[in-house]
Structure 1
Amino acid sequence: MTETEGLDLIGILSSIDETAYVWDIKTGRIDWERNACAVLSISDPEQIATGAGYHALIAAEHLNRRLEAFSRSVGGDRKRGVPYRVQYRLLIGGRRSGKAIRVEDQGRWWPGSDGHPERARGVVRILHDQYLEEQRLLVRNDLDELTGQLNRIRLTEALSTVLSRTERDRQSCAFLMVAVNNLAVINETFGFEVGDETIAEVARRIREKQRGGDIIGRYSSNKFGIVLMDCGAGASRIAAERFMKAVRETTIKTSACQLSATISLGGVIVPDQAHAVQDALNFALRALDLAKSKRSDCFVLYEATAASDNTRARSKKIADNVISAIEERRMRLALQPMIGAKTGKPELYECLLRMERPDGSLVSAGEFVPVAEQLGLSRLIDRRTLELTVDLLVRHPDIVLSLNVSGLTCSDNEWLATLRRLTGGRKELLNRIVVEITETVAIEDIDQSINFVDTLKELGCRVAIDDFGAGYTSFKNLKLLNVDIVKIDGAFVKNLADDTSDQIFIKTMIELAQTFGMETVAEWVGNERTVKHLTDAGITYMQGFYYGMPFDAADFGTAASAVIIPADRPEDA
């Protein structure tokens, strides 16, 4: 390669607003690349020719950052040096000029015979607003805000990469699912803030006990996923014991008090026991459930059985059918009306998903959605449901639709982006959408659910909490979620006409919702006596077979106009 063909390093550095230096710390002399003054907007090169001169230009509030970077790891590696990376403001016109730039200073320093810094080599880069925003987005998109570890999306992506690598290199790795025990009790006793502090500290302790190259990410509210590289069954047990000991051996200091915590772990060896990401997640979660059933501080490694193999085969078939149905646009909507108690007319319609087989027969959501959720396909299902729902809203300007979303969708920014894209931000569409989240999903990560609800309401949608009463949401959580509609679980409605306790529960729930300014829906309404009890109690909407079976969304108009209140429907309908 000739000199003219060689790399123009100075030109490259200048083009990306970077310069480099070598600092003789003992003498104080700094030798810069010849583009330094241009990059740093310094008129006199003597200003930055010494360490003291350069430090005089660093903002007072940031000077200690750079000094501390050269005081860490005293006596460090003399061969490779000690890495440092620090950001600060540089007052390019002197301390009184008011002109400043933000820079990132990254490099390595090497110790002398006394172990203290003797020389350093580094690169200084100008940090523009666009770069800083890109860095913030990178962190926000990759990391969980509470723990600073990978978020769920990045964790599963990392697991996918590791799976491909292990099969190619014929090496085994372990994937562990970790749960913080009794977190619900901590939340109820001390509040969610203390619960979050506990989660963050558990994550920190586990991270400290990991080997270099191992991966940890937050899977859900109280669960973490850990990828242990080059690890078999025996090594995974040793690692699990190490993690459990790290959490249990000392108390956790929180803003409320000192707390004790324990963890349970379930693990699976990949690719020996799982060749796909969803299999690894599913098997690890099964092993975790078994560990939690044994005692509060336990590790269980997944073991395949004939029954589990049959279940796995069935799940795989369902997954294949779901994916092909989505790709071939064989997902369809059925609608079930919600009747206004005061008007006696359909005022909302719940969207119920149906999967059409290649032969034209239909499969109800209950037969494939639970398995699809376990296998992580609920995002695909929810996005297709959203597409069908918005299309129906566009074609029928007067219809109001309610659609269910899964727990994964509550943390899926892409679903929200799809909602914005499909509606174009038009309020006449968004105002006719009700998004339903189940009670159990809402409380699994209450902070995440609150953010999801708030975002939807800002867009103009209404939000309903579904199956209320089936889980263990407190009235306090109901208020925190700030939903618009409470759908009372059908188990409390089914025998309402004959069960006094159900009547009391329904009345209490309706009065509570009214206090919070929320509307109410009663599901599973099956007969005239139940309608009367609900109407007398002040219910807003009623939904159930009493008002007709769900019908194909393509028939909306004809079927919708035929919905009436049948006085002669059998009591057990």
Structure 2
Amino acid sequence: MPDENPKSPDTGKRDPLTETEGLDLVGILSSVEETAYVWDLRTGRLDWESNAAEILDVGDLSKISTGAAYHALIAPEHLNVRLEVFARSVGADPERGVPYRIQYRLRPGGLRSGKEVRLEDQGRWWPGADGHPQRARGVVRIVDDHYLEQQRRLVRNDLDELTGQLNRMRLTEALATVLSRTEREQRSSAFLMISVNNLAVINETFGLEVGDEVIAEVGRRIRAKLRGGDIIGRYSANKFGIVLMNCGAGAVHTAAERFINAVRDTTIKTSAAQLSATVSLGGVIIPDQANSVHDAVNFALRTLDIAKSKRFDCFVLYEPSPSGDGARLRNKTIAESVVNALDENRMRLVLQPMVSTKTGKPEVYEALLRMVRPDGSLVAAGEFVPIAEQLGLSRLIDRRTLELTVDLLKQHRELILSVNVSGLTCSDKEWLTTLRRVTAGHPDVLRRMIVEITETVALHELDQSVNFVNTLKELGCRVAIDDFGAGYTSFKNLKLLNVDMVKIDGAFVKNVANDTSDQIFVKTMIELAKTFGMETVAEWVGDERSAKYLTDAGITYMQGYYYGMPFDSSDYVKAA
């Protein structure tokens, strides 16, 4: 009968590679430099696995056969770390025990010896009738510098430094895994976004460090109210994301109320004072209401905004809205179309003339952007620019418009072009850098360019607008205020901006031939602009009577469909 536990022919020891029956637990522990113990804290007796003497290099197990003897070998600066583990009796679970995991240095040859090993000690202790530790079981393993660096790297990569919860990357990865699992198992879970409501006031009153203390404590309180398997991570500055496993629409309200109460019911002790905090929550059921990480996060954030808009801390669960979802889908489609058009050079300029009232001829042209669809059809700027501005794409659009404008000015040395820029461009140093770059060696191009900024933007960031205008004028450009009259800019601010041209909003022009109040308004603006030495442009001129009134009132230029529809810039030579 063959040997069922063959031995190595060289050493006579059991060969783990050919072991066929049972588990050699001692051998497994030894192979990973670990050993195990059972500690009776009432008697002090400490029983070790048979490999402990070899792993810990103590020579004889009798040297560590009691808790006191083992503690005598722990480095003095680390001894309290281990003792404190068994001093915490509050909340001890007599069934499951109290888990612990610590690291310390052990000197196997005694405290005066030069030999030292670094250990990680992990286990559980169980309380007696008095609630104090009675028995402990654990595993001790040797750890080296490589292992410690791996642990530090793991913490840095997985956890948020302030709160100790999962960081944003790991949170979204966990959410993706849960989404996949819930779809496969046909179970519902929930994703919640939680925000600390009054953090801005705390930061302003007590400073950012105290605000950080509040964030960290809120995270700890919420984590303490999670069930086993639930996940929490820090999504952004004052927001936490929570994945609630196997949680439907009914249960999620109960869970949300539990989190709200955990933060609201007791004050938070900080280095400055005892503070109160509240939280608001938004949530979505997955995968029922969202089957992707992007949708789950967006829907949770959207409902969180609704919850925060209320006057009290509360929870709002996502409710699908066909009209809202349709609008978001349209916006997403527009954004993708804009990005693709920019990448594929499918942006084009059309020109609309500004006719001089003195000569009756076009002397300036406004450059208007059009997006070319893959099928060749054109999309007016009004259909995509507002959405692009909301999504932060306006800077890219303005830079492309600038490049097209300068190219056209270089081709036609007699052409004068007016070009619009968005509010974001007034603070975009890269746009000015691009302007200098594409006009280098062509000062005549700068002199033939008029940059239009809207009145509302100019008023909103007046100091910034003044600097932007001054820089453009130093370069040689002229500057116009567009849609003047639509906002609330005073003529004092208009003078402060020191622009060259005022474009009167078309709302005051389209009925100027018949509306007395519009006539008074337009006439006043023309006269005051002349006082400041500024040229004027009337937009939306649509008929002969309006053109005559504006000419008699002293307007400098007129622009509108009465003088023709915008035409493709490639046809400029024919038009000229």
TM-score bracket, shorter-length normalisation: 0.5 to 0.7
Assess if the C-alpha contact under 8 Å between 1:494 and 1:526 holds in 2.
no
Residue 237 of structure 2 is aligned to residue 211 of structure 1: no
Structure 1 294/495 Cα, relative in aligned 2: closer, same or farther at 3 Å? same
Taking the aligned partners of 1:188 and 1:521, their CA distance within structure 2 comes to 35
User: Which residue, 9, 14, 29 being the options, matches 1:13?
Assistant: 29
Taking the aligned partners of 2:34 and 2:159, their CA distance within structure 1 comes to 27
User: How far apart are residue 58 of structure 1 and its match?
Assistant: 0.9
Alignment partner, residue 405 of structure 2 = none
Alignment partner, residue 567 of structure 1 = none
Deviates further, 87-96 or 202-211: 202-211
Structure 1: which amino acid aligns with 2:302? R
**Normalized against structure 2, the TM-score is what?**
0.58
Taking the aligned partners of 1:362 and 1:130, their CA distance within structure 2 comes to 61
Kindly provide the CA deviation profile for residues 297-317 of structure 1, in whole angstroms up to 9, marking residues without a partner as x: 122111111212313544675
Alignment partner, residue 453 of structure 2 = 494
Residue 319 of structure 2 is aligned to residue 303 of structure 1: yes
Alignment partner, residue 186 of structure 1 = 202
Structure 1 60/112 Cα, relative in aligned 2: closer, same or farther at 3 Å? same
Assess if the C-alpha contact under 8 Å between 1:332 and 1:356 holds in 2.
no
Alignment partner, residue 444 of structure 2 = none
Kindly provide the CA deviation profile for residues 185-240 of structure 1, in whole angstroms up to 9, marking residues without a partner as x: 32233221122122112222222222332221111111111122222222222222
User: Which residue, 248, 262, 277 being the options, matches 1:246?
Assistant: 262
Structure 2: which amino acid aligns with 1:276? S
User: How far apart are residue 104 of structure 1 and its match?
Assistant: 0.9
Alignment partner, residue 5 of structure 2 = 3
Equivalent residues in 2 for 1:316-465, closer than 5 Å:
331=343
Taking the aligned partners of 1:504 and 1:302, their CA distance within structure 2 comes to 41
User: How far apart are residue 105 of structure 1 and its match?
Assistant: 1.0
Taking the aligned partners of 2:308 and 2:112, their CA distance within structure 1 comes to 63
Structure 1 313/186 Cα, relative in aligned 2: closer, same or farther at 3 Å? same
Count of paired positions: 403
Assess if the C-alpha contact under 8 Å between 1:322 and 1:368 holds in 2.
no
Alignment partner, residue 442 of structure 2 = none
Structure 1: which amino acid aligns with 2:478? E
Residue 132 of structure 2 is aligned to residue 107 of structure 1: no
Structure 1: which amino acid aligns with 2:4? T
Taking the aligned partners of 1:357 and 1:8, their CA distance within structure 2 comes to 70
Assess if the C-alpha contact under 8 Å between 1:74 and 1:111 holds in 2.
no
Alignment partner, residue 528 of structure 1 = 478
Gaps of 5+ in 1: 336-354, 379-384, 386-438, 441-463, 469-491, 511-519, 532-536, 538-569
Structure 1 500/159 Cα, relative in aligned 2: closer, same or farther at 3 Å? closer
Structure 1: which amino acid aligns with 2:67? G
Assess if the C-alpha contact under 8 Å between 1:147 and 1:200 holds in 2.
yes
User: How far apart are residue 144 of structure 1 and its match?
Assistant: 0.9
Alignment partner, residue 431 of structure 1 = none
**Normalized against structure 1, the TM-score is what?**
0.58
Alignment partner, residue 236 of structure 2 = 220
User: Which residue, 24, 34, 45 being the options, matches 2:61?
Assistant: 45
Alignment partner, residue 148 of structure 2 = 132
Kindly provide the CA deviation profile for residues 103-127 of structure 1, in whole angstroms up to 9, marking residues without a partner as x: 1111233445555444432211111
Taking the aligned partners of 1:293 and 1:79, their CA distance within structure 2 comes to 45
Deviates further, 269-278 or 92-101: 92-101
Alignment partner, residue 277 of structure 2 = 261
Taking the aligned partners of 1:112 and 1:271, their CA distance within structure 2 comes to 46
User: Equivalent residue of 2:137, what SS?
Assistant: strand
Structure 1 84/254 Cα, relative in aligned 2: closer, same or farther at 3 Å? closer
Alignment partner, residue 122 of structure 1 = 138
Alignment partner, residue 110 of structure 2 = 94
Taking the aligned partners of 1:222 and 1:74, their CA distance within structure 2 comes to 31
Taking the aligned partners of 1:206 and 1:465, their CA distance within structure 2 comes to 43
User: Which residue, 166, 182, 197 being the options, matches 1:150?
Assistant: 166
Taking the aligned partners of 2:82 and 2:201, their CA distance within structure 1 comes to 44
User: How far apart are residue 356 of structure 1 and its match?
Assistant: 11
Taking the aligned partners of 1:526 and 1:307, their CA distance within structure 2 comes to 48
Taking the aligned partners of 1:334 and 1:259, their CA distance within structure 2 comes to 56
Q: Give the structure with higher Rg (CA).
A: 2
Structure 2: which amino acid aligns with 1:494? I
What percent of counterpart residues are identical? 63
Assess if the C-alpha contact under 8 Å between 2:171 and 2:234 holds in 1.
yes
Output the aligned Cα RMSD: 5.0
Kindly provide the CA deviation profile for residues 351-409 of structure 1, in whole angstroms up to 9, marking residues without a partner as x: xxxx9987799999979988989xxxx9xxxxxx9xxxxxxxxxxxxxxxxxxxxxxxx
User: How far apart are residue 184 of structure 1 and its match?
Assistant: 2.4
Taking the aligned partners of 1:244 and 1:211, their CA distance within structure 2 comes to 16
Taking the aligned partners of 2:111 and 2:320, their CA distance within structure 1 comes to 68
Structure 2: which amino acid aligns with 1:3? N
User: Equivalent residue of 2:72, what SS?
Assistant: helix
User: How far apart are residue 162 of structure 1 and its match?
Assistant: 1.5
User: Equivalent residue of 1:21, what SS?
Assistant: strand
Structure 2: which amino acid aligns with 1:127? V
Assess if the C-alpha contact under 8 Å between 2:472 and 2:478 holds in 1.
no
User: How far apart are residue 77 of structure 1 and its match?
Assistant: 4.9
Structure 1 207/499 Cα, relative in aligned 2: closer, same or farther at 3 Å? closer
Assess if the C-alpha contact under 8 Å between 2:427 and 2:468 holds in 1.
no
User: How far apart are residue 78 of structure 1 and its match?
Assistant: 5.0
Taking the aligned partners of 1:243 and 1:233, their CA distance within structure 2 comes to 16
Structure 1 51/370 Cα, relative in aligned 2: closer, same or farther at 3 Å? farther
Residue 12 of structure 2 is aligned to residue 62 of structure 1: no
Kindly provide the CA deviation profile for residues 537-569 of structure 1, in whole angstroms up to 9, marking residues without a partner as x: 9xxxxxxxxxxxxxxxxxxxxxxxxxxxxxxxx
Deviates further, 278-287 or 56-65: 56-65
